[in-house]
Amino acid sequence: MKILQPKVLAFAVAALLPLSVQAHQASITFDASQQGPVINRDIYGQFAEHLGRGIYEGLWVGKDSKIPNTKGFRNDVIAALKEIKVPLVRWPGGCFADEYHWREGIGPQNKRPIKVNTHWGGVEETNAVGTHEFFDLVELLGAEAYINGNLGTGTPQEMAEWLEYMTSDKNSTLANERRANGRDKPFEIAYFGVGNEAWGCGGNMRPEYYSDLYRHYATFLKTPPGKMPKLVASGGDTADTSWTDVLSSQIPLRMMDGISYHFYTLPKNDWKDKGDALNFSQDEWFTTMERTYRMEKYVSDNVAKLDKNDPDGKLGFYVDEWGTWYNPEPDREPGFLYQQNSMRDAVVAAVNFNIFHKHADRVRMTSIAQMVNVLQAMILTDNEKMVLTPTYYVYDMYKVFQDATSIPFTIKTDKYSFEGDNVPAVTASVAKGTDGKLYVALVNLDPTESASVNLHVNGVKASKAVGQILTADQMDAHNSFDNPQQVQPASFSSSLNKLSLPAKSVVVAELVP
């Protein structure tokens, strides 16, 4: 993506200017010869649910659209998503998954039944995007597929037959039906979810009851040798660890590969009045940071349950729904969950990445909600127009961490405090990329005060940090269709001694001699 030269110069110079006396202080120490777990690239997964304008218009416009497309998917959106190296896409939901019957999304599109999307806006669902179209999408992106099966209103037979339809290489009726629908070679599936949010929209179940259902359904999920996807059990949300505890103790470990988890950041911590995406106060900035940083404790608490019940570390902890969730925008369909995306969202994304990296031994996959036009999206569209959000740019900056080897470090940092509560002023990640380079990510959570960071590096010669910075003057600075380049990365360069982080900033840099 092109970067405006004056902005590049301004931030490159600013990184070397003296800090104010009010700057937060942070110190990070590590030995580059030490190694931690690999940061699985699937941590950077995306979520595409049949919700609002996320798939229809956001991704899919149809082959006959005037908007340039390939196999019905927008060329501009596909190109932008390929740029951030999307590794994984979760589909078809979410809550939508447990009312989705796969047969309604195969065969000629003009003969597919039109349903009502009862979860999201009560709108017509044409089923134009079904199994084959979804795999067109992931193959265009060079990504892997995470399919979420219907346990809520489906049957074990329906789920098992869908898996056979997608993966069988035999001359079975189902495999031949797939071939007749245009796909000779079986589809490759990386993950398969057995239901979604079984505690809520997936059936309002108890974890004990869901555990038995999971064992029932999973028993009949079969594929050719070597083609079985990682099986995902539907886990808990927010502070609740009971789902992780019950599932990891009552489902045989040989029957599942990981447990999902969901947590959304609400500025006001109130589902009836979540807070607005723009024009918010400094106290809502802080409460957003305080609530998103709860992810650290929630992940730690769930990982402790896994360590107790799965001491050998077989199970992954999959945060397959996360991100910010705000009040609906005025004059928009509330069930479409469309919201603007500001510098605040960028900081939220980076803070969560640093948490996921810290727990990379268990957090092996996540998917942000959602990819286009829904909640904390990478991209917003308006008919033929497209805009990249601040969150998109964080994903772009952090892509160097995909499959990188984490490096243990210690951090001492001041607190960012507000009205008696506090969070760390600075969070970080350190890793050796697959390219052999040494990378550091730094986030200043404070919207008004800068931070001074000392990097103490052992095991390698390094004197400078060279990379990119994302920041803005206003807390709710955002990219709009009228001003699509208001927030974008700029060049960053600094010595490792008293590295300067402006207020509300994200830096990803290579450490060089």
* Active site amino acids: 197, 321
CA proximity to 327, closest of 257, 266, 253: 266
Contacts of 303-311 spanning 24+ positions with Cβ under 8 A: 303/359, 303/362, 304/241, 305/241, 305/244, 305/245, 305/248, 306/244, 306/248, 306/259, 306/362, 308/245, 309/245, 309/248, 309/249, 310/248, 310/253
- Residue 145, strand partner residues: 89
H helix or E strand, kind and range, residue 164: helix 156-167
CA proximity to 290, closest of 261, 323, 262, 267: 267
CA proximity to 511, closest of 37, 35, 36, 31: 31
The three-point CA angle 265-229-224 to 5° equals: 165
- Alpha-carbon distance of 29 to 10, in angstroms, equals 29
The three-point CA angle 97-325-347 to 5° equals: 120
Task: Tell me the two tokens of residue 196.
Answer: 């979604």
The torsion angles phi and psi of 203, rounded to 5 degrees, stand at: 145, 0
What is the DSSP secondary structure assignment for residue 254, as one 8-state letter?
A: G
- Alpha-carbon distance of 137 to 252, in angstroms, equals 34
H helix or E strand, kind and range, residue 179: helix 173-180
- Alpha-carbon distance of 341 to 377, in angstroms, equals 7
What is the DSSP secondary structure assignment for residue 372, as one 8-state letter?
A: B
Task: Tell me the two tokens of residue 313.
Answer: 């570390």
Secondary structure tally for the chain: helices H, strands E = 11, 26
Q: Which residues contact 272 (CB under 8 A, 6 or more apart)?
A: none
CA proximity to 162, closest of 145, 147, 152: 147
Contact criterion met (CB below 8 Å) for 288 and 267:
yes
